[in-house]
Amino acid sequence: MKEFRYERAEDVAGAVATLAAAPDGAFLGGGTNLVDLMKLGVATPDVLVDVRRLTSAEVEELPDGGLRIGAAVPNADLAADRRLRERYPVLALALLSGASGQLRNRATTAGNLLQRTRCTYFTDVTKPCNKRAPGSGCGALQGLHRNHAIVGQTIDGPDGATTCVTTHPSDMAVAMVALDAVVQVVGPDGDRSIPIGELHRLPGDDPSRDTTLRHGELITAVDLPPLPAGTVSRYRKTRDRASFAFALVSVAAALRVEDGVVRDVRLALGGVAHKPWRASTAEAVLRGLPATEESFAAAARAELDLATPLRDNGFKVPLAKNLITRTLLDLTEETR
């Protein structure tokens, strides 16, 4: 592991200033992802600014009836919060489907959002990977890519080649995208609020950047707007084994049905793209349709028509369609 300096700032402003002055530095949350990557030589920061005790570890009520989740709230505490379980079951379920109890005790809200991809070429420094070593190529494109993306990956790089086909790993982020969460950030140029759908990015011609955050920007909290009365929500994840595994495909869904008609629906998919994938095509198809299996399947088909699977991950297309349809049917049952 490369030598690095460990810093603890007095306050948020101090942490932001320290990192702004260290172009190769990084913030440290629970360390469950960053420290692993440092041991592998994938991440090589020269300064670590520990922010776990600087940002809030509380979940607070917002005046509009939503919740503000401090950046340092451990994933386990968030999943156990009674208000979250009652008002946003989709998020509690997503958290509980990720990692293990021990990891969730340590992992933070901000760190979870910013965890890096699990593509095995990314974590192996002897292999080509445009995300880790820009311009070196993408090992997964012709290699092992069963777990990789089926949508959003075909935006060509400067030489006309697809740059990166990996997926975003966080379950929590998928649920937050379906909930239209807002990420609160403090940076060297001041504060800003980022709608979570604009936080993570597609690879485009620069797959080294996972998000739209600028260097030195610190996540301080994530706000959840209230869901309209009568909305039910759920997270469902498919994976190769029952625990301690990342999603092959997952779906976060929130549904409001009145008189048998879909009044509102929010859908996001995990395991299918470089970012949590908001299924806006399916949502648009569904609004105003009868809440039936036929409608749900038609919406899922419309969304997955956009898919361009790779040689070995075509199975994700029917899997995603079935997962959307089944989850919405289950939610409809809940509203009866």
Site for ligand SF4 in 196-225 (CB under 6 A): 207
For 150-170, give one letter per residue: b (16+ CB within 10 A) or e: bbbbeeebeeeebbbbbbbbb
Other CB atoms within 10 A of residue 262 CB: 23
Q: Which of 122, 246, 277, 296 binds ligand SF4 (CB under 6 A)?
A: 122
* Residue 266 vs 274, nearer CB to ligand SF4: 274
Selection from 236, 240, 259, 260 nearest residue 248 by Cα: 240
Q: Find out whether 175 and 91 touch, Cβ atoms under 8 Å.
A: yes
Choices 142-150, 166-174, 227-235, 319-327; region in contact with ligand FAD by CB under 6 A = 166-174
User: Does position 166 bind ligand SF4 by CB under 6 A?
Assistant: yes
* Residue 42 vs 47, nearer CB to ligand SF4: 42
User: Does position 147 bind ligand SF4 by CB under 6 A?
Assistant: no
Per DSSP bridges, beta strands 26-28 and 47-50 are parallel
Residue 110, binding choice from ligand SF4, ligand FAD, none, Cβ under 5 to 8 Å by partner class: ligand FAD
Q: Which of 140, 150, 219, 328 binds ligand SF4 (CB under 6 A)?
A: 140
Q: How far is the CB of 50 from ligand FAD (least distance, A)?
A: 9
Site for ligand SF4 in 22-61 (CB under 6 A): none
* Residue 267 per-residue DSSP state: E
Closest CB to ligand FAD: residue number: 111
Which residues have CB under 8 Å from 159's CB, separation 6+?
Answer: none
Q: How far is the CB of 159 from ligand FAD (least distance, A)?
A: 28
Q: What residues pair up with 17 in beta bridges, in sequence order?
A: none
At 20, is the secondary structure helix, strand, or coil? helix
Give the chain's count of helices (H) and strands (E). 12, 12
Binding site for ligand FAD (CB under 6 A): 26-34, 51, 55, 71, 75, 98-99, 103, 106-108, 110-112, 114-115, 169-172, 218-219, 244, 246
